[in-house]
Every structure is written in structure tokens, then in C-alpha cells.
Amino acid sequence: MYDHLLLPTDGSDGTSTVAEHVGSLARRYDATVHALSVVDTRNRFEGPTMGLGTETWEDAERERAERAVDAAADALPDDVAVERHVESGVPHAEILDYADAAAVDVIVMGTHGRTGIDRYLIGSIAERVVRQSPIPVLTVRIADE
């Protein structure tokens, strides 16, 4: 039923919680987990008075994404096959594009459950993925600490 599972991650503290769920599914179905993090190319800090140029922003984002993928892969059980990927672009769009290109069967991702002004200001990548994905998406609630 599930041969390829996608684990998108931004490196949040709850990654191990999501990895526990995706690891369980991977073991049950002998599936490969695709750990993915996206280098967000939308530099919110670029401008004459903001202090970060595009290259600096993207370098920092790539390092964060690589650490996030490594942490997610390391949190999976040792007997689960894992592929590590870093993509660049708008996070929700890259997640959906990767899922399509890799013929992923299900996306398993964390959600912080933000509401109100936090959700409006920060946005919800998980919500966008759920709304736009043609394949099943399993969301795992991550407690804010």
C-alpha cells in the first residue's frame, strides 16, 4: 500500500515525534522514507536596511535544511530505508512537486496547530499541503513548548 513515504521537515523540535509515526509506517509496509527539507528562497529580510543579502540568506537556509534532513533521517529506526533530499523554492510547492516526482504514496508531516494571529502571520505549510495534495497527508500534532 505504501512504498514511498515523504517526511518533510524544517528541523523543528517535533521532528522526532513525526519520525516515530513515519518510521512505524515504513516498518509495517517495508517502505522507503524520503526525508525532505526545503531551502526557502523567499528572503523576507532582503532590502537596503535589512542587512541580509540573497546569497547569505540562501546559504543559511541550505545549512538549516541539510541539518533538518540529517536529524529527521537519524530519528528513524535503523532498519528503515531513507533517502535524503534538499530542494529550493517555496516550501509547500516544493513538497508537493517532490511528492509527485518521486511517486510518493503518503506525506507525513508535523503541524504546530497555530491559531489566530500566529497562523495568519506565520502561515501553515502543512495546511497548504493538506489542501492542495492529490495524495493522502498524515499530519502529526507537535506540541509547542
H-run or E-run covering 56: helix 54-75
User: β-strand 137-141 against 32-40: which pairing, if any?
Assistant: unpaired
Cβ–Cβ under 8 Å, residues 140 and 10:
no
Q: Which fold has domain 4-141?
A: Rossmann fold (3.40.50)
Is 8:68 a contact under the CB 8 Å cutoff?
no
pTM summary value: 0.86
* pLDDT value at residue 43: 60
What's the pLDDT band for 98 if we cut at 50, 70, 90? very high
**Domain spans in the chain, listed from the N-terminal domain onward:** 4-141
| Confidence check: pLDDT of 46 > 60 | no
